[in-house]
Amino acid sequence: MSNGLAEGLRVMFMFGHVMTMVYAGITMTACHHAIFRYEQMRSGLLLRSAQATMMAILAHWISGLLVLAFDTGFSWQLIARQPLLLSKITVMGILTLKTVVFYKFALPRLVGIKRDVRGSQGPIAMLGVMSVSSWVYLVFLGVAKPLLGLGYGGFMALYGGVMLLAAGFAWRVVGPRIRWAHQHAKTIIGYTM
């Protein structure tokens, strides 16, 4: 493969990778809009937005793996020497796990026929705020090359600090709002219209 073609492919893969992140931001905004924007929570919008977010995460993994294959050939020795890359993979793994937990645990409590957020609004809020914080942190990692001296441990410690701040915000601000939105949701056949 010629250098020009190879570089063109890499640029396409990177552009796709960045666009999946933009798409994830749009879908998460729609999720939060469904919960917080209206006087009554919009369950249909929340469900569609959550499904779109899952698709964005899948697309982000695929595009990221394409870039990883192009840049490293999946060589563990090359990957292990890049703390920024390891941090991105770790944070994306945590974000994916959190999203699966949200989709399986929290979403049915918010939009299901048997809605019940009593006692779970704090954890639901934490999942949402941790998701947003993780995506923002991934954007930060995308431009953090000048901070390579932090190493993997430093990047992950910084991520841990961001998650602690996000958890505090979720517990004090977002959780009570989810409880309020749930209490004021109008249900028609199990879903808010």
Secondary structure (DSSP) of 94-142? HHHHHHHHIIIIIHHHHHSTT---TTTHHHHHHHHHHHHHHHHHHHHHH
Q: Where are the domains of the chain?
A: 3-183
Q: At what angle do helices 151-169 and 83-101 cross, to 10 degrees?
A: 30
Q: Spell out the per-residue pLDDT of the chain, length 193, in tens.
A: 678 888 898 899 999 999 998 998 888 888 877 776 655 667 788 888 888 989 999 999 999 999 999 899 999 999 999 999 999 999 999 999 988 888 888 777 777 655 655 656 667 777 777 888 898 899 999 999 999 999 999 999 999 999 999 888 877 777 777 666 666 655 433 444 3
